[in-house]
Amino acid sequence: MSAFVWLQKLGLTGRLNEKDTVFLPASEQIKAWRKANHKMEWGILPDEFDVLEDPPLISPEDRRQGFNGAVLFYGFGDDGSGSADAVLSGKLAWEYACKRRNRKTWQCEYVDFQRPEDIRLRSGAPGRPRGFYWAFLHTGERNIHLTVSQVRKKLETNTGCASEGFQLLAVSHTHFTNLMTARKMPFMALADYDVAPHGFNDFYDAPQLFCSNHVLGLGIGWTMNRKLWPDADKAAYRLGEPQKVTFKNSSSRLHPMHIHGVFFRVLERNGKKAAEPFTRDTVLVGPRESVTIGFVPEHPGIWLTHCHIQEHAEAGMMTTIDVAN
| 140 secondary structure, DSSP code | -
CB nearer Cu ion, residue 155 or residue 307: 307
The CB-of-191 to Cu ion minimum distance in angstroms stands at 16
Q: How many helices (H) and strands (E) does the chain have?
A: 7, 17
Using CA atoms, how far residue 95 sits from 24, 39, 84, 89, in Å, is 22, 12, 18, 10
Closest CA to 255 of 195, 294, 309: 309
Contact assessment for residue 88 and residue 78, using Cβ atoms and an 8 Å cutoff: no
The CB-of-182 to Cu ion minimum distance in angstroms stands at 16
The CB-of-307 to Cu ion minimum distance in angstroms stands at 3
Q: Is the CA virtual torsion 244, 245, 250, 251 positive or negative? A: negative
In degrees and rounded to multiples of 5, residue 49 shows phi and psi of: -70, -40
CB nearer Cu ion, residue 161 or residue 307: 307
CA atoms of 42 and 36, how far apart (whole Å): 8
The CB-of-220 to Cu ion minimum distance in angstroms stands at 11
Closest CA to 210 of 182, 189, 231, 196: 189
CB nearer Cu ion, residue 151 or residue 313: 313
The CB-of-309 to Cu ion minimum distance in angstroms stands at 4
CB nearer Cu ion, residue 262 or residue 307: 307
CA atoms of 142 and 149, how far apart (whole Å): 15
CB nearer Cu ion, residue 83 or residue 250: 250
The CB-of-224 to Cu ion minimum distance in angstroms stands at 10
Residues 6 or more apart whose CB falls under 8 angstroms from that of 22 comprise 68, 69, 139, 143, 148, 151, 152
CB nearer Cu ion, residue 169 or residue 307: 307
CB nearer Cu ion, residue 100 or residue 312: 312
The CB-of-249 to Cu ion minimum distance in angstroms stands at 9
In degrees and rounded to multiples of 5, residue 97 shows phi and psi of: -60, -40
User: With the CA atoms of 260, 238, 3 and 312 taken in that order, what torsion angle do they form, in degrees rounded to the nearest 10?
Assistant: 10
What is the β-pairing status of strands 105-107 and 215-221? parallel
CB nearer Cu ion, residue 50 or residue 311: 311
The CB-of-32 to Cu ion minimum distance in angstroms stands at 37
By CB under 5 A, name the binding residues for Cu ion: 255, 307, 309, 312
